[in-house]
Structure formats: C-alpha cells, structure tokens
Amino acid sequence: MPPRMNNPSLVVPDALQPLLDLTQVIGKVGVPQRTLDLIRLRVSQINGRIYTIPDDLGQAAADERLPQVADWREAGVFSPAERAALALAEEVTELSGREDAVPDEVWQEAAGHYTEEELASLVIHIGLVNLWNRINVSTRQVPAAWR
C-alpha cells in the first residue's frame, strides 16, 4: 500500500528537529542504547509498525536478540534490567482497558533497575516511539529498515 501522504514530521514546518532533539536528549541520560533499541522494536511490534531487520547488521550494530524481542518473556537472552524495561514498555503502550494502566509491580521492577532520571527517560522514550508509530502507521509509511 502506498503512503497516504509524506511523513507528517516532514510536512509540518519545523516539526522534525524537536523530535530528533528529544531522541538525542534521551540517549544521553544513561540507559544503554541497546535497551532503547529493544524498547523501540517491541513498542513498534505492538503498534504494527514494521521494521525490516537485515541478516547482517554489521559488527557494531549486530544484536542477535532482535528477532526474539516479541517473545522476550520466554527468551533467556535478556538481562533483568532489559526485561523490566520491556515490561514497562508494553504496559505504557497498551494503556487502555485497565483501571491501573501501569501496574505497581511493573513500575517497581523497573524502578529497581533504573535511577529516577533513567526511568523518566524510559517513559519519554516509550511515549516518543509510540508517537512515531502512530504517525507512521496512520499515514501508511513504508516499512523502515532497522538501524
């Protein structure tokens, strides 16, 4: 299916740069980039945003765990901190239909692995990924190549 329009972040004047700036700020807080990448992939999977993941990502970018992100609970390859971040990402992404949208036990588990600043950056990152997903899915942007 062809895109419905050009990407809105490029259509609205001056919209793209603040989003890129926020991404850069989040990356400086101290949460490992690998964790942010795992969250980006898992949230995108939930939202139906397709990424094409090449077999050879290159030595520096290779993470053989990427194909296992959808099944992270069963996969034994994620650290406890990554698992806590992935659980938080799922709960924050799927807010509707529950009285306590993000259960205390999920929040407390994440808070046990991350400082307040890191936890705040995780929440902002999850929200930002959801924003990008909603922009891209609703306007039918082409699947993105993983990078």
- Taking only the tens place, the pLDDT of each residue in 94-129 is 998 888 999 999 999 999 999 999 999 999 999 999
For residue 20, the model assigns a pLDDT of 97
Tell whether the model's pLDDT for residue 60 goes beyond 60: no
**What is the value of pTM for the model shown?**
0.92
SS3 state at 4: coil
3: phi > 0 → left, psi -120 to 50 → alpha, else beta; which? beta
Residue (of 70, 32, 14, 41) closest to 129 by Cα position: 41
Question: Residues 63-97: pLDDT tens digits?
Answer: 788 989 999 999 999 999 999 999 999 999 999 88
Cβ count near 113 (within 10 Å): 19
Q: What are residue 114's phi and psi, to 5 degrees?
A: -130, 145
Distance between CA 39 and CA 42 in Å, rounded? 5
Instruction: Compute the distance between CA of residue 27 and CA of residue 20 in angstroms, rounded to an integer.
Output: 11
Does residue 142 have a pLDDT over 80?
yes
| C-alpha to C-alpha distance for 103 and 108, rounded to whole angstroms | 9
Mean pLDDT, range 125-139, rounded to an integer: 97
Burial grade of 138 (CB within 10 A; 0-12, 13-18, 19 or more): exposed
The answer, yes or no, to whether residue 56 has pLDDT greater than 80, is: no
User: Could you tell me which of 30, 37, 33 has the C-alpha nearest to residue 119?
Assistant: 30
Confidence of residue 144 (pLDDT cuts 50, 70, 90): confident
pLDDT confidence of residue 145: 82
